[in-house]
Amino acid sequence: MAVSRAEQRAATRRALLAEGRRRFAADGYHHVVLAEVARAAGVTKGAAYHHFDSKAGLFRATVCEVQQELGERVAIAAEQHEDLWEQLRAGCRAFLAAGTDPAVRQIMLVDAPAVLGWDEWRAMDEESSARHLAEALSALVAAGIIADQPVEPLARLLSGALNEAALWIARGGDLRAAEQALDRLLTGLRAPA
Q: Are the beta carbons of 98 and 166 closer than 8 angstroms? A: yes
* CA contacts within 13 A on the Cβ side of 95: 31
Task: Supply the mean pLDDT for the chain.
Answer: 92
Q: Are the beta carbons of 84 and 138 closer than 8 angstroms? A: no
Q: What is the largest CA-CA distance in the chain?
A: 65
Q: Average pLDDT of 1-17?
A: 88
Res. 151: pLDDT tops 80: yes
The model's pTM: 0.86
Reported as a pLDDT band with limits 50, 70 and 90, residue 124 is confident
Strand partners, 190: 146
Q: Are the beta carbons of 90 and 80 closer than 8 angstroms? A: yes
In this predicted structure, what is the pLDDT of residue 1?
A: 65
Res. 130: pLDDT tops 80: no
Q: Average pLDDT of 57-84?
A: 93
Q: Average pLDDT of 32-54?
A: 94
Res. 173: pLDDT tops 70: yes
